[in-house]
Structure 1
Amino acid sequence: MAVVYDRLMKDAPYDLWVEFTKQMIVDYQPDTRTILDIGCGTGEITHRLQQIGFQLTGVDLSSDMLTVAQQKDPRANIQWLKQDMTNLEGLDQFDCVISYCDVFNYLVEESQVKCAFANIYDALHSDGLFLFDVHSLEHIHNDLSGATFAQVQDDLSYVWFCDPGEEDNSIVHDLTFFVQSGEIYQRFDEVHHQRGYMLDDLKDWLEDTGFLIQQISADFNSHYSTEGERWLFVCKK
């Protein structure tokens, strides 16, 4: 999916993620220089933060995503690493760690979430900042589970089924793509598993890891409300 990912995500709120990151750094860690972007995908947020002066490292599990990210600007001073967020190696003393676009929802076991929190805690220097988001349970149940999405373009079409998964609050994304290649269309299929978690559980796991939760908000709005499609967490080591 890496080849068509940016086209599918052209309306994603990248600017809002970047502005959120900048503001949280100003509010909670103004001396930030180094940022670790976990689940960086094709590097849209990574590149934007690097371009405004931060030192970036991008981590993703997909080598195809990382290839696309690196090719966007081969001269950019960004380190790209293929690693699993539940088994990070050789990463420490970062001022800030970010993980956006529901990356944590791809961890479908509670133990994986706890392990990732612990790895990120270890990757930060003392007083480091951790910013991430997840799908809200309301969004999973009301907008995603059981829904079907489709798009038809001249050279790209897809059908996307979101079916309830076997685990509580989980969904299975069953995607079929048709991509034009010369005079023919090539079909490829992908299945993605995601799971949502209770807000109180995430808070408990973060605090058990050692994080101090500074604020929780929804959809880039006031931190006094968690009603929305996406919960955003601001934590400090």
Structure 2
Amino acid sequence: MSYQQFAYLYDELMADAPYSKWLSFIKSAVFAYHPNTIRLLDVGCGTGSMPILLAKEGFEVTGVDLSSDMLMVAKEKADKGNVALSLFQQDMRELEGLGAYDCVTILCDSLNYILTEEDVKRTFLSAWNHLEPNGLFIFDVHSLHKINDIFIGSTFGSNDEALSYIWQCYQGEYENSVEHDLSFFILTNNDNYERYDELHIQRTFSAEDYSKWLNECQFEVLSITADFENHKPLEQSERILFIAKKS
């Protein structure tokens, strides 16, 4: 099975992802801090679910992802939905030549695939370089609690007939990192199951570290909240959301 086929299955696996909450969060941030936002760059856009929602809200959206197969699926979905979407294959640490935007987003814990302090800063600078003055930078990450207390040592699974999986989580090489070892079993047209294995590595840092690095990269931190609620992160929070401004 090609990764392109898996990319279609990715949408099934992400069917319960809180896309509507991300959309509401972005619209609220834009309304509060940059109401004239038109052009938006979504980094780590995957199969395009979030950029398509944003485009339907009237934003001019460009999507960037490292995976050409994910981008191929995103293009097919956008074309099918008659949604105007520009798509580029680039590494979020080395964005170049994409122009300037009113807002840059890195959603769905995509930033957690960046494993070192230096590369996080490189990513922040890439975002800074593609923002208009006073443009917004919005991203979310897993909390330390989610990585260390929920993921590490846990096993998740599903035994649906068409798509089953086993998802095991191990301590990663770095502090506050996790290795997601996934095995998928997909029912084929001849009633056999095809196995597909993937390894995903994620790492997170404290909210204080992200805030400090944003300041070092000449961003002003406007808001740090958790779990799509209007409150500061708590010890048991799972997703930390940042809004920053190019200063």
* TM-score category, normalised to shorter length: over 0.9
Look up the match of 2:18: 13
In the TM superposition, structure 1's runs of 4+ consecutive aligned residues that sit over 6 Å from their partners are: none
Q: CA deviation at 1:221?
A: 0.7
Matching of residues 30-179 of structure 1 within 5 Å: 30-74=35-79, 75-179=82-186
Q: Secondary structure at the match of 1:189?
A: strand
1-structure distance, mates of 2:26, 2:93: 23
Tell me the percent identity. 45
Q: CA deviation at 1:72?
A: 1.1
Amino acid at match of 1:236: K
Of stretches 65-74 and 93-102 in structure 1, the one that deviates more from structure 2 is 65-74
Matching of residues 197-208 of structure 1 within 5 Å: 197-208=205-216
> Structure 1: 5+ residue runs without aligned partners?
none
Matched, 1:2 2:2: no
Amino acid at match of 1:94: Y
Query: Is the contact between residue 153 and residue 170 of structure 2 (CA under 8 Å) also seen in structure 1?
Result: yes
- After TM superposition, the score normalised by the length of structure 1 is 0.97
Aligned length: 237
Q: CA deviation at 1:92?
A: 2.8
Query: CA RMSD, aligned part only?
Result: 1.0
Q: CA deviation at 1:226?
A: 4.2
Q: Secondary structure at the match of 1:73?
A: helix
Query: Is the contact between residue 215 and residue 223 of structure 1 (CA under 8 Å) also seen in structure 2?
Result: no
Q: CA deviation at 1:111?
A: 1.0
Query: What are the superposed Cα offsets for residues 60-93 of structure 1, whole Å, 9 maximum, x if unpaired?
Result: 0111111111111313211011110011110231
Q: CA deviation at 1:160?
A: 0.5
Query: Is the contact between residue 106 and residue 138 of structure 2 (CA under 8 Å) also seen in structure 1?
Result: yes
Look up the match of 1:232: 241
